[in-house]
Amino acid sequence: MAKQENDNDQDYKARATALRLLARREHSRLELSLKLRQRKLPGDIINAVLDDYEKEGWLDDDRFADVYARQRMDLGYGPLRILGELQQRGVHKTPECVAEMTEEDWCQRAIGIRDKRFGLADLSEDWDEKVRQARFLNRRGFSASQVERALEARSE
């Protein structure tokens, strides 16, 4: 009898914890699974709970990817960084909001980020500053061609 109560308790704990985490923000399946494993819950119970929550529509990797990508885009991150962070979180497909962006859109975002952080001064004579700004944009996740276009931009 005690074994049955313990199993129900573990199931209840997994469901309650997962629901509480999802109420705060969207999570990917991998993120939620890792957080439940940290709480020493059995893997079979975790998988059953996550399967149920996916069927209910409470857990959705596509929705998570879209929300996450939009937030990161709003914070000024580029496509390479956003896609890399999504892969770390177990999402291996490109969200629609990222796929809809053209190369020109990303270049304009990189120019905007550079302008906000450094201004759009001419860097043709200052190699050290050009390298510093290029590294910053690379860390933000912009491609080499996007960084190059941003560095060529001048204020009107």
Establish if 77 belongs to a structural domain: no
Domain residues for the domain of 130 are: 103-152
- Tell me how crowded residue 153 is: count the other CB atoms within 10 A of its CB: 16
Q: What is the pLDDT of residues 62-93, one digit of tens each?
A: 999 999 999 999 999 999 999 999 999 999 99
Q: Within a domain: residue 126?
A: yes
Average pLDDT of the chain to the nearest whole number: 92
The whole-angstrom separation of Cα 3 and Cα 76 is: 51
Q: How far is CA 108 from CA 39, 100, 148, 153, in A?
A: 44, 14, 12, 10
| Inside any domain, residue 92 | no
Domain contains 29: yes
Burial 64-81 (b: 16+ CB within 10 A, else e): bbbebbeebbeebbbbbb
**Count of the separate structural domains present in the chain:** 2
pTM of the shown model: 0.87
| CATH number of the structural domain spanning residue 126 | 1.10.10
Q: Is 25 inside any structural domain? A: yes
Torsion angle (degrees, nearest 10) of CA 95, 99, 104, 106: 20
